[in-house]
Amino acid sequence: MSDPEDINADRIFNDDEARTPLPIGGGPTMTAGQMEEAEAAVPAGGEARSTGTIFRQMARVFRENKLAVAGLGVVVFFILFCFVGPHIYTTNQTNTQLALQNSTNNAPPSSKNPLGTDGSGFDILGRLMFGGQASLIVGFASAFVATVFGTVYGALSGFFGRWLDSLLMRIVDILLSIPVLFLLIALVTIYHQSEILLILVIAFVSWLVPARLIRGETLSLRNREYVQAVRVMGGSRSRIIGRHIIPNSIGTIVVFATFQVADSILLLAALGFLGLGVPAPQTDWGTMLSNGVDAAGNGYWWQIYPAGLCIVLVVVAFNYVGDALRDSLEVRLQQR
C-alpha cells in the first residue's frame, strides 16, 4: 500500500468502491492486491475480440440481470419521453406569452396541465421533456468526449511509459486534486455557457478517471505475448494501441462510459441547480429544480418533485446498467 503504484491501484479501486453500494447485499469487494491479480488475468487470449462479441456479452448480461433490464428500460423510456414525447404532447416551452394564453402561471396539476405550470406559465410535463433533452444530450455527449479522450490519453501514457507516463499521470493527479465543482465553475465562468461549451467543460473534468483506468490496463496489456508478436512482425505503435490495446480494454471503457453518463447528468444538474446550467430559453432538469426551489416557500411542490425524480431515476438507471456490465466483466474474469 505504500508504493506509489499501489496507491494508484487503490485510487482506481476506491473509485470503483465508491460506486459499489449498488450491488445490494454484495459480498466483500476486491482488495488492491486482488485487483492487480485480476488485472493480470484479464484477457489471456490472442487477437482483439471483435465488437460482435462484446455486444453479445452485453446482451447476455441483460438477459440474466433483472435490475439491469429495469435500468435499461428506464433509460429507453426517458429517451422516448424527451425526444418523442414533445411530438405527441405538444406544449410551448420557449414563449411565455404563448404559454400564458393556455394557462396561468404556478397552476397546480389539473386535467389541462397534468403536472401543473411553473412561474412563467410553462407546462411542467412538457418542460420535463424539453429540459430532459438538454440533460440527456449533455450527459451522453460529455461522457463520450471524456471517455474517448481519456482512453487515448491513458493508452498513450501506459504504452510509452517512462518520463512521458510520469508527466501525463502527474497532470491527471493535479487535476484530480481540484474539487470538481470548483474547477467546473471556474471553467463555466471563463467560458460562458452554451450547450456545446458545457459538454466540453464537463468532459474536461471527467476524462481523468478513464485515463487512469486505461493506463492501468495498458500497462498490463503491453507486455503480453501477442503484443510482442505484433511488435516482432513489425506492427507500428499506433497499430498496437489502436488494434490491440484499446479493443482489449473495451469492457472497461464501456463500463466507465455508462457510469460517466450518470455522472455527467448529475454534474449538469448540479450546475443547473446553482443557476449555471444551459442558457435560456433552453432549460435542464437541474435548472427546473432550482427555479422550483425559489418558490419553495409557496408550497408549489409540483415545481420541485418531478424534476428531482427525473434526475434520480435516470442516474440510478444508468448506475444499474453500469453495475451489471461491470459484474459481467468480472464474471468473465472468473471463468478464465
Partner 1 sequence: MTGYIIRRVGQSIVVILGVVLITFLLAKLIPGGEAKAVLGPKATPANIAHFNRLNGLDAPIYLQFWRYVEGLFAHLNLGYSYKYNQGVRQVIGERLPKTLTLVGVSTLIALVLAIPLGILQVVRRNKPIDYALTGASFFFYAMPDFLFGTLLIIWFSFDLGWFPVSPPTDSSAWAIFTDPRAFILPVVTLAATTVASFSRYMRSSMMDALAEDYIRTARAKGASNRRVLYGHALRNALIPLLTLLGLSLPAIVSGALIVENVFNYPGMGLLTVQSAFNDDIPVVLGTTLVITVATVIGSLMADILYAVADPRIRLGGGD
Binding of partner 1 at residue 280 (CB under 8 A)?
A: no
Nearer to partner 1, 221 or 325 (CB): 325
Binding of partner 1 at residue 289 (CB under 8 A)?
A: yes
- Measured torsion, CA atoms of residues 253, 220, 205, 329, in degrees rounded to the nearest 10: 30
Binding of partner 1 at residue 70 (CB under 8 A)?
A: no
Q: Which of 5, 31, 63, 101 binds partner 1 (CB under 8 A)?
A: 31
Nearer to partner 1, 54 or 284 (CB): 284
Binding of partner 1 at residue 304 (CB under 8 A)?
A: yes
Nearer to partner 1, 2 or 238 (CB): 2
Q: Which of 79, 175, 200, 333 binds partner 1 (CB under 8 A)?
A: 175
Binding of partner 1 at residue 233 (CB under 8 A)?
A: no
Stretch that binds partner 1, among 58-66, 224-232, 270-278, 324-332 (CB under 8 A): 270-278
Over the range 109-148, which residues count as b (16 or more CB within 10 Å of their CB) and which as e? eeeebebbbbeebbbbbbbbbbbbbbbbbbbbbbbbbbbe
* Grid coordinates of 131: 429540459
Closest approach, Cβ 221 to partner 1, in A, equals 26
> Residue 146's closest CA among 218, 193, 204?
204
CA angle 136/139/145 to nearest 5° reads 135
CB 202 within 8 A of CB 267: yes
Question: Measured between alpha carbons, how far is 88 from 219 in angstroms, rounded to an integer?
Answer: 51
Question: Measured between alpha carbons, how far is 58 from 61 in angstroms, rounded to an integer?
Answer: 5
CB atoms inside a 10 Å sphere around CB 334: 8
Local structure of 275: helix, strand or coil = coil
Mask for 1-20, x = binds partner 1 (CB under 8 A): xxxx--x--xx--x--xx-x
Q: Which residues bind partner 1 (CB under 8 A)?
A: 1-4, 7, 10-11, 14, 17-18, 20-22, 24-25, 27-29, 31, 170-171, 173-183, 185-191, 266, 269-270, 273-276, 286, 289, 293, 296-297, 299, 304, 308, 311-312, 315-316, 319
